[in-house]
Structure 1
Amino acid sequence: MAKHSHGSMDISEQEKTFNGFVRWTVRTVVVIIVALILLALING
């Protein structure tokens, strides 16, 4: 079995994927909030 050295793995791709997921999630939440505000104002 290979000896594992903590912190030696290249995780740049995982970091890019996670950052993309977080960015997408934040944008989606903002769009949903804006849509709810517009619905509240229109149906006011």
Structure 2
Amino acid sequence: MLSAGIERFGYFEQLAAISRGEAEFASLLPEQHRYDVHFEDLPH
């Protein structure tokens, strides 16, 4: 099957690892451009 867009399987795998405590959120920061997701600092 072909589909448009960016391959995001690795992104969702990384999110799952973060939710299980196996990875830090900071591990996603270098991947922002690869998965076309951009994190911003929001005021608390």
Give the TM interval when normalised to the shorter protein.
0.3 to 0.5
- Higher Rg: 1
Point out which structure has higher relative CO (alpha carbons under 8 A, 6+ apart): 2
